[in-house]
Amino acid sequence: MSKQNVIFFDIDGTLLDDNKQLPKETKRAIQQLQDNGEIIAIATGRAPFMYESLREELNIDTFVSFNGQYVVVKGEEVYKNPLDVSSLLELTEVGLTHNHPIVYMDQEDMKANVPEHDYINRSIATLKIKQFPRHDPHYYKGREILQSLFFCSEGEEVFYQQRFPSFDFVRWHPVSVDVLPKGGSKAIGINKAIEALGVSKENIYAFGDGLNDMEMLSNVEKSVAMGNAEDEVKRVAKYVTKDVDQNGIMHGLKMVGLL
């Protein structure tokens, strides 16, 4: 069993600030950890193609994407957990009757089932990424869809949660939720990653801020919630650091004794 520490970082609100920028102190902290021989990994709800440049900038080749449904360790795919296709198609059909579109996502791309929708435009724009989902209502055919983005206002997901018990709906934007296989989480993805790495759970750390980080922070003993995290997220973490734009990553790493 390897004695190396592995530190998993969420992206939005954790590594990146509200402007989707990587603070200089955060980058310096990551480089220090790597110089010390630690393994740096990402655990995010984003698709891999949404943060390829960030991985290159930080020299990261181990990551958990789609909230745990797609795991790559040292550049090699080790785990995939796709959505059930028949349930996904039913969700698509029901959503269309309520003007709630969907975006299908695999590790390579994302496509929308409608040509245009304000909810898609508004939510995707906040990610400040180059890619934007083009229209392809049949993108699911012959592919493993690892996560979907479903677009509805806050509270409207309750209907779908009751109608589709095989899915989890996790809100990440006022007009959008992530659609995951029931029980899928970053925590499961992290477990798959550390199995492949041969690292003990005692050597795992995790930083996050969002509702989709709660399972991860609950299950990782040395967990750190960002100061900008929601109160319910802070309650499940072992430590709470400063805000992302107040050198929260550097401060948190010092809190847990890694720097």
pLDDT digits (tens, 9 = 90+) for 126-163: 999 988 999 999 999 999 999 999 999 999 999 999 99
Burial of 217 (0-12, 13-18, 19+ CB in 10 A): buried
Strand order in the sheet with 176-181: 134-135, 110-112, 102-105, 147-150, 176-181, 167-173
The whole-number pLDDT of residue 183 equals 94
pLDDT-above-90 percentage for the chain: 98
Is residue 181 within 8 Å of residue 69, measured between CB atoms?
yes
pLDDT beyond 90 at 26 = yes
pLDDT of residue 2: 75
Parse the chain into domains and list their residue ranges.
6-80+184-255, 85-181
Query: Is the model's pLDDT at 1 over the cut of 80?
Result: no
Relative to beta strand 176-181, strand 147-150 is antiparallel
* List of residues 6+ apart from 48 with CB closer than 8 A: 63, 65, 70, 72, 107
Q: pTM of the entire structure? A: 0.94
3-state helix, strand, coil in the chain (%, to 5): 35, 25, 40
Say which residues have a Cβ less than 8 Å from residue 16's Cβ, sequence separation at least 6.
Answer: 22, 54, 244
Q: What is the mean pLDDT of residues 82-99?
A: 98
Distance from C-alpha of 60 to C-alpha of 71, rounded to nearest angstrom? 13
Q: Using 50, 70 and 90 to split pLDDT, how confident is the model at 3? A: confident
User: Residue 64 in contact with residue 197, Cβ under 8 Å?
Assistant: no
What pLDDT score was predicted for residue 130?
A: 87
User: What's the CATH superfamily of 6-80+184-255?
Assistant: HAD superfamily/HAD-like (3.40.50.1000)
**Domain 85-181 falls in which CATH fold?**
3.30.1240
Torsion sign (Cα): 87, 89, 92, 93: negative
Which tens digit of pLDDT belongs to each residue from 102-134?
A: 999 999 999 999 999 999 999 999 999 988 999
Active site amino acids: 10
Tell me: pLDDT of 238 over 90.
yes
Q: Give the pLDDT mean for 30-47.
A: 97
pLDDT, one tens digit per residue, over 173-226 is 999 999 999 999 999 999 999 999 999 999 999 999 999 999 999 999 999 999
